Amino acid sequence: MSTVMRVLAVNVGSSSLKLAVWEGPSRPLIELEAREIGRGQGVVTENGAVVARETFADHGAALAALMQRLPERENIARIGHRVVHGGAKYRNATWLNEKALEDLQGLVPLSPLHQPPALAVVRACREYFPAIPQAAVFDTAFHAALPPRAYTYAVPAAWRAAGVRRYGFHGIACADVVAQLADDLRERAVILHLGAGCSATAVLQGKGIDTTMGFTPLEGLVMATRSGDVDPGALLYVQRELGLTAQAMDHALNEESGLLALSGASADMRELLQSQDEQAALAVDVFCYRAAKAVGALTVALGGLDQIIFSGGIGEHAARVRARIGALLGGMGLVMDVDANNSTASVISSLSSVVEVRVIAVDEGRQIARETLMLSADDAPSL
């Protein structure tokens, strides 16, 4: 990345907002975050430290609070926004002109939790920075080159014509992993991004060729409050027998399932690992089993496996989870180094392991800034 041009990276979550100013690839000049937006009392952090406790009605209110703490706003040259869904059209980062905003608004039904607040923050940033070009960096873009056999659902043609296909998510995190590893990325790798949201992505020679998330970020692995894969027939049965509306089903699968549902008490992996409760143990067991099972499936897509990369909050910090997943993959020649896994080492597999295992701290803000800087200034929308 350039060491001169400053980029404001904006990362909107369903109940969070991060702003980071980047001038180089090592670390941001400042990173601000508002959490618990729309969920009662929230917090504001600056470079990881809590600096205020406020209530944010929406992302606009959170942005206003963070803007008060953002220094040297006049020196920002570009703004890059994380946008979860780019659909089939947007396969790379793009400048946000009126046509792009209109297209992305049309994708709201595909990402109802993330797309609306992201677009609201884009529009608000136009008010704060009326002369600064803004870009969208997409979570789906890393998976844009998935082959038809990986992205096609076996559903009626009319459904597929309406856009029902696998898109994949966590692409910004995957791209940052690939960029960080550079020459250390092996030919056939699986990125296990484990956090509140979880996914596994098959990477062949630096390109994504399959992934566990699909039409929405609900498909795939067990997550904090998301179910992951469930037999569609079971969903139809529950909806019919319990008389649940589509909205109620959506809420249950996204907010009341996953680790929270399995444990009956918590969606926090740290708490579950410390608990002596049988249901907590089951939640961890199911979580690790499904992750390892996904690695096995993606090994088929890759034609073999050379490397596993753990990322995300759980992947980076939960050594016991990594150890459990590694043990389940022992039949594939994976051997964990116990001491390395329990340390801060980046390589945690044994020298005798057929598959190398690494741990990486992902920074989506850095990747947002990187891709925003790669866009040509000649194509920037006139303001």
Residues identified as active-site: 139
Interatomic CA distance for residues 227 and 31, integer angstroms: 31
Interatomic CA distance for residues 171 and 76, integer angstroms: 25
Of 226, 181, 228, 178, residue with least CA distance to 206: 178
Give the gyration radius of the chain's Cα atoms.
21
Tokens of 158: 């009319």
CA–CA–CA angle 57, 61, 65 (5° rounding): 130
Q: Quick one: which H or E segment has residue 371?
A: helix 364-374
Residue with tokens 């969920």: 39
DSSP secondary structure code for residue 236 in this structure: H
Interatomic CA distance for residues 272 and 300, integer angstroms: 31
Interatomic CA distance for residues 25 and 104, integer angstroms: 28
Number of other CB atoms surrounding residue 66 within 10 Å: 20
